[in-house]
């Protein structure tokens, strides 16, 4: 694979850098418009306005689903799939462009992962799950079999979702929640069992 740029010179970018280095993919630098630094972890930091070529590959290292979606949707750059070597991924899965699997993530047989998703450290996605685009599965999350997760949903660290559950779009699930019922679009849920505590704007 050609060298890639990482969009986001912060904490999330650090971990993606580790993933890329572990797969021997050359990192050409970072892109970041929100920091004044010129160097980050030994790499040059470019401003997006200075990147004129469309023939580059960019990984969007932005944890916030809304911002990652906005940047990726307005981009004409290609985004590779990045999978840390310690991740376990069934050959009977499909993973779309721009998605990143961190250290020790698991994706089991029959699952379908959309574009620009994050499957974070030690997260487990069991068989026949469907994750739409821009989903963020935080560290230590367990999705049991046949779970579906709507676009731009964020599942907090250590949460568990029992088999067959359908989670809507633009949902935030608080850390440590246990989801035992279907969840509609645009809500914040917390607790064990998880319950809705707030409605969210579709653009939240």
Beta bridge partners of residue 154, listed in sequence order: 136, 172
Taking a C-beta distance cutoff of 8 angstroms, is the pair 132, 150 a contact?
yes
Tokens of residue 13, six digits = 């970018």
Q: How many angstroms separate the CA atoms of 110 and 169, rounded?
A: 21
Calculate the CA dihedral of residues 57, 138, 19, 150 and round it to 10 degrees. Answer: -30
- Contact 159/143 with Cβ under 8 angstroms? no
Cα atoms in the Cβ-side hemisphere of radius 13 Å centred on 24 = 0
Among candidate residues 12, 84, 127, 136, the one labeled active-site is 127
127 a catalytic residue: yes
Task: Please provide the DSSP assignment of 158-194 as one string.
Answer: T-EE-TT-EE-SS-EE-TT-EE-S-B-SSEEEETTTT
* Three-state DSSP state, 103: coil
φ/ψ (deg, to 5) at 49: -65, -15
Q: Which residues are catalytic?
A: 127
């Amino acid at each position: 694979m050609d060298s890639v740029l990482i969009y986001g010179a912060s904490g999330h970018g650090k971990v993606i850098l580790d993933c890329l280095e572990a797969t021997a993919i050359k990192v050409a630098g970072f892109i970041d418009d929100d920091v004044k630094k010129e160097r980050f972890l030994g790499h040059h930091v470019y401003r997006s306005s200075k990147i004129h070529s469309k023939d580059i590959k960019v990984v969007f290292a932005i944890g916030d689903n809304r911002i990652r979606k906005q940047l990726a949707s307005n981009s004409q750059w290609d985004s590779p799939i990045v999978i840390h070597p310690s991740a376990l991924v069934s050959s009977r899965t499909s993973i779309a462009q721009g998605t990143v699997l961190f250290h020790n993530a698991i994706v089991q047989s029959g699952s379908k992962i959309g574009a620009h998703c994050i499957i974070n450290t030690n997260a487990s996605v069991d068989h026949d799950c469907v994750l739409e685009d821009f989903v963020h599965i935080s560290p230590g999350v367990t999705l049991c079999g046949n779970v579906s997760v709507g676009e731009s949903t964020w599942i907090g660290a250590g949460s568990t979702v029992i088999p067959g559950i359908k989670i809507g779009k633009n949902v935030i699930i608080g850390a440590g929640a246990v989801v035992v019922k279907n969840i509609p679009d645009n809500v914040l849920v917390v607790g064990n069992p998880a319950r809705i505590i707030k409605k969210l704007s579709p653009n939240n």
